[in-house]
Amino acid sequence: MLFFVFSMGMLIFDKLIMPFYIRENLDRNLPNVKGYSFVRAKETLESEGFHVKKGDIQYTNKFSEGTIIDQFPDPTRRVKPGRTIHLTIAQREKMVLIPDLIGKSIRSGRLELTDSGLLIDTLIAEFDPDIPIDVIRWQYPRAGDYLRKGSGLKIIISKGKPPNFYEVPQLFGLSMDKGEKLLNKSKLYLGKVNYRQNEDLVPYTILEQSIVSGTILDKPQSIDVTVSILELDDLYNQLTNPIE
């Protein structure tokens, strides 16, 4: 019986304990290869009996291209030979050509930016009577420039016509009568009338206006004008017998 117990004990020691002890002694500290080139890191790890595999690619300008910036398992850990070590390698950040988004819907613009690896980091909506709602009217940086992949653009889209707006019409070259009618149609008013001698134009032709045409006003205003006259006598007649 004693011989049987002794034999069983030796068998367990030989088959279980000793192999475990030997394997434990084979463990070694994993070298730190961060900052190495991939070739150097591979040679270093393989010389210690490890297998090497390229892991993730990380786009960054903080490290030289091809540099090992991370490894798994972590360095200095006790690892058995034959273990596969995964290495993360630095690559330069990709520069992306910025597409032209002006005149496109915000939905189309987002899709195009996503396809290019870019995004919108600032979105502003402004009233614009000349551009339909949700159409892109401005972008920064402009199309044709380059940005790092993952960077964002500033975009302004149109909110369409404001609920109450008044657009100043073009009055230059019109007669006083037509100019005033056009102002009334635009829900604006004729203001102060100034006179300037000009022998090349029909009398009372509008030469200037106080607010530039195309200006959007948020409330009705009066528009001053300058009109042509042939002679000073015309001005006297205009003041004593104003045009109805």
Beta-sheet strands, E only, within the chain: 28-29, 51-59, 68-72, 78-79, 84-91, 95-97, 119-126, 136-140, 146-148, 152-158, 166-167, 189-197, 206-209, 216-217, 222-229
**CA–CA separation, 39 vs 194, rounded Å?**
84
What's the pLDDT at 172? 95
Expressed in angstroms, the distance from the first to the final Cα of the chain is 137
What's the pLDDT at 175? 94
Write down all domains in the chain, each with its CATH number in brackets: 2-91 (3.30.10.20), 95-158 (3.30.10.20), 166-240 (3.30.10.20)
CB neighbours (10 Å) of residue 68? 22
What's the pLDDT at 174? 96
What's the pLDDT at 11? 55
Run means of pLDDT, 10 residues per run, the chain, 244 residues: 54 54 64 91 90 85 86 86 90 88 96 94 90 95 91 94 86 95 94 91 94 89 94 62 54
What's the pLDDT at 29? 84
What's the pLDDT at 150? 86
**CA–CA separation, 14 vs 10, rounded Å?**
6
Strand, coil or helix: 155 = strand
Residue type, 178: K
HSE (side-chain half, CA atoms, 13 Å) at 198: 16
What's the pLDDT at 91? 85
**CA–CA separation, 97 vs 57, rounded Å?**
21
